[in-house]
Amino acid sequence: MNKWILILIFIIPPIFVLSFPYHIGEESFRPNTPKMWTGGTIPDEKGYFGWAQIYYETGKIYLPLEEIGPPKIQHIDFIIGDTPSKCIFMKIKVEKHDTQWETKTRDIYITVYNGKDEGLANETIRIEREHRILWNGTTDENGLFILHDVPPGFYHIAIDTPIKPLQMFFSTDYRGLNYPIEVSAKLYHFSSNVKVLIHVDHAINKNLSDVKIYLNKPEGKPIGFTDDYGNYILTLPINNGFTHVVAVKETLGLIPPVGSGIVEVNDRYAFANHWPPGYCYLIIPLWITKTIYYLPILLNFIAVASVYLLARKLYTERIALISSIITSFSSLGILILYSRGMADYASMSFA
């Protein structure tokens, strides 16, 4: 008799839960990112399912911040003249804070300099957002132009030159840890031809390797990749004039799931799971076999079996059966079974 009661306890709650709509293979679509695994009823589920996907697709328990979001692209312009003094470069520095993770106003430092690293004074600068000029002015005697308390956003810079404006973009909005890459250029060698050092950093993690470098447009095969120090040497003819370089950092396209936190690994920042990974690993085979929909059956079996065996050992078989019924048929039990992404079944059982 008790055996049949236990079987009913194992079967009825999952059948009740499965009678509600809960699609197999749920996925969340985000612009320019791969499909993300997700549950569907509570935020915790997105955390467990999201990290299950990361573990499965990357084999890593943490991911560097530069792997977050869509591919990161930065443009940089410069002019190569017939002497180092007639070359014109620009660079942008966004103020860093001790609390880099906050979205807040920041100071911006724009420097215009020649091939000898000498600042160029009285260069006209315009800063735009959504095609509206927000600030303009000229560089000081050191080639520096400073903007204070720039609100979070995405901005376009133009610097007037005799040939054509040098243009670049910068961002002060880092929502979702989606930090941009930063590109700079400087004259490396000037003789029968010109060599320009292109350097690429992530806003948080410096010296990005394997960044694609393109001339003019990010199409087709890149002309090269940055090395382990984030550098690429670009060779150009003397008096090449206006040059446009595009750096593209390919990413895994993943978004930090709920429950992610920042960690430091080998002097670089990454995001990792706040929770122990065990439950996420349990999700993986069920997801890829499309049996994730039936996870409540397994979870209910584990919860009921745990309560029954423990209560029978501590008390009597009658109390064990009553405890199992209360555990599985209570409103809390049904709710947690439906929220299959929660790993709180031990708490439910002992409660």
268 occurs within a structural domain: no
3-state SS assignment for residue 74: strand
211 occurs within a structural domain: yes
Beta bridge partners of 105: none
338 occurs within a structural domain: yes
- The count of domains in the chain is 2
**Per-residue model confidence (pLDDT) at position 278:** 81
**Per-residue model confidence (pLDDT) at position 117:** 94
Q: Are residues 313 and 174 in the same domain?
A: no
- Of 224, 249, 274, the residue that ends a domain is 249
pLDDT digits 0-9 by tens, 151-182: 988 999 999 998 889 999 988 878 777 889 99
Q: Are residues 245 and 295 in the same domain?
A: no
Q: Are residues 91 and 238 in the same domain?
A: yes
Q: Are residues 11 and 152 in the same domain?
A: no
**Per-residue model confidence (pLDDT) at position 306:** 82
Could you tell me the residue range of the domain that residue 237 belongs to?
71-249
Q: Are residues 230 and 303 in the same domain?
A: no
**Per-residue model confidence (pLDDT) at position 231:** 98
- Of 249, 270, 300, the residue that ends a domain is 249
pLDDT digits 0-9 by tens, 174-219: 877 788 999 999 999 998 889 999 999 999 999 999 999 999 989 9
% of the chain with per-residue pLDDT over 70: 84
Residue that is written with structure tokens 């065996």 in the block: 309
Given a contact cutoff of 8 angstroms between Cβ atoms, the answer to whether 123 and 160 are in contact is yes
CA Rg value for the chain = 29
Least confident of 194-203, 304-313, 331-340: 331-340
Interval 111-115 mean pLDDT: 96
Q: Closest by alpha carbon to 269, among 199, 206, 211?
A: 206
118 occurs within a structural domain: yes
56 occurs within a structural domain: no
Alpha-carbon gap, residue 329 to 340, rounded angstroms: 16
For 156, 159, 286, 336, 342, the CA distances from 42, given in Å and listed in that order, are 39, 49, 19, 10, 8
- Of 198, 229, 249, the residue that ends a domain is 249
Q: Are residues 164 and 308 in the same domain?
A: no
* Mean pLDDT over the full length of the chain: 84
Interval 69-77 mean pLDDT: 93
Q: Are residues 79 and 152 in the same domain?
A: yes
48 occurs within a structural domain: no
**Per-residue model confidence (pLDDT) at position 4:** 73
Which one is predicted more confidently, 300 or 212?
212
Q: Are residues 234 and 297 in the same domain?
A: no
3-state SS assignment for residue 177: helix
Q: Are residues 94 and 143 in the same domain?
A: yes
Alpha-carbon gap, residue 287 to 309, rounded angstroms: 29
Q: Are residues 109 and 217 in the same domain?
A: yes
